Amino acid sequence: DAKTTQPTSMDCAEGRAANLPCNHSTISGNEYVYWYRQIHSQGPQYIIHGLKNNETNEMASLIITEDRKSSTLILPHATLRDTAVYYCIGTSGGGADGLTFGKGTHLIIQP
Amino acid sequence: GAGVSQSPSNKVTEKGKDVELRCDPISGHTALYWYRQSLGQGLEFLIYFQGNSAPDKSGLPSDRFSAERTGGSVSTLTIQRTQQEDSAVYLCASSLSIRGLVSNYGYTFGSGTRLTVV
């Protein structure tokens, strides 16, 4: 899996958009960018993934730069329940060593 | 069921005893992973099953750890002669794995088994 770099923690006000950056400057052409989050005491939850194009689903949007060296996960209207650790992962798929989860970003939504 | 089911949700065991942790993946998911998460730490990959192929055990921390997957479905992770450092949350995940293509839905994780060795 590609090496990714994320800020350790971020705060965001409830109701505002939360923008979580991720650096993956060494990502290779066949590696996707995946985002997961882990709410306290639960297993990680899949959010979204993309290769080159921006993606949007019911949970979030993913903006990938044209050179694919970085991306931003956007939670459009953050709620208190979005407080979690968010993991950005670059991977070519469900390989033998699974997904490599780094330290992630601890997002704290403030009321 | 609709999700990945793990049991028990909590297990307290005495040092030196053996434990078995169970994972019931989503029906039809051919790939199954076990991870371990110690308190305040990231996820540590343990083992991977893909269909009927031999599992990748490269992440298992010692020979006290073993896992099997019967009939391509349910998996059990066994820890023999447990030690205090084995205390962690053990997470199981499953995914569709289509010949190297990335699953459109990523991995689905269970809620984990919290193991405490006293």
User: What pLDDT, on the 0 to 100 scale, is given for residue B107?
Assistant: 84
CA distance B67 to B1: 22
Asked if B17 and B11 count as a contact pair (C-beta separation under 8 A), the reply is: no
Is the model more confident about B39 or about B6?
Answer: B6
A40 pLDDT tier (thresholds 50, 70, 90): confident
**Averaged confidence pLDDT in chain A:** 90
Shortest distance between the Cα of A108 and any Cα of chain B, in A, equals 16
**Averaged confidence pLDDT in chain B:** 89
Q: Does B3 touch chain A (CB under 8 A)?
A: no
At residue A91, does pLDDT exceed 60?
Answer: yes
Is the model more confident about A14 or about B42?
Answer: A14
Q: Which helix (H) or strand (E) holds A87?
A: strand A84-91
Count CA atoms closer than 13 A to A24's CA, side-chain side: 32
Tens digits of residue pLDDT in B31-64: 899 999 998 888 888 998 988 788 888 889 999 9
Q: Which of A44, A40, A35 is nearest to B91 (CA)?
A: A44
Count CA atoms closer than 13 A to A8's CA, side-chain side: 2
Residues of B in contact with A46 (CB under 8 A): 105-108
At residue B100, does pLDDT exceed 60?
Answer: no
At residue B105, does pLDDT exceed 80?
Answer: no
Percent of chain A with pLDDT over 90: 69
B105: nearest CA in chain A?
Answer: A46
At residue B99, does pLDDT exceed 50?
Answer: no
A99: nearest CA in chain B?
Answer: B45
CA distance A92 to A34: 10
At residue B81, does pLDDT exceed 90?
Answer: yes
Percent of chain A with pLDDT over 70: 93
User: What pLDDT, on the 0 to 100 scale, is given for residue B8?
Assistant: 97
Burial class (CB in 10 A: 0-12, 13-18, 19+), B101: exposed
**Residues across chain A:** 111
- A contact test, residue of B10, B24, B97, B109 with most A CBs within 10 A: B109
User: What pLDDT, on the 0 to 100 scale, is given for residue A97?
Assistant: 55
CA distance A46 to A36: 5
At residue A106, does pLDDT exceed 90?
Answer: yes
CA distance B92 to B85: 19
DSSP, collapsed to helix, strand or coil, labels residue A82 as: helix
Which region among A54-58, A93-97, B35-39, B73-77 has the lowest average model confidence (pLDDT)?
A93-97
